[in-house]
Amino acid sequence: MLARFTADPRHFASTPSLRTLHAELLLLCARIGYSPHTSV
């Protein structure tokens, strides 16, 4: 599911930390207008 994102050499040239991955995921969610924490 995340293959298309993990295949991006610009973001994953070096091994990112979980915090960085989480931040990237939140930015991606915000970009597409999806908020996983506020879906009630």
Pair 29, 2: CB distance under 8 Å: no
Residue with tokens 């994102």, as numbered in its chain:
5
**C-beta pairs of 27-36 under 8 Å, 24+ apart in sequence:** none
How far is C-alpha 20 from the geometric centre of its chain's CA atoms?
8
Q: Which amino acid is at 36?
A: P
Would you state the pLDDT for residue 12?
52
pTM: 0.40
The pLDDT tens digits of the residues spanning 1-40 come to 455 555 555 655 556 688 888 888 888 888 888 766 665 5
Residue 8: predicted pLDDT: 59
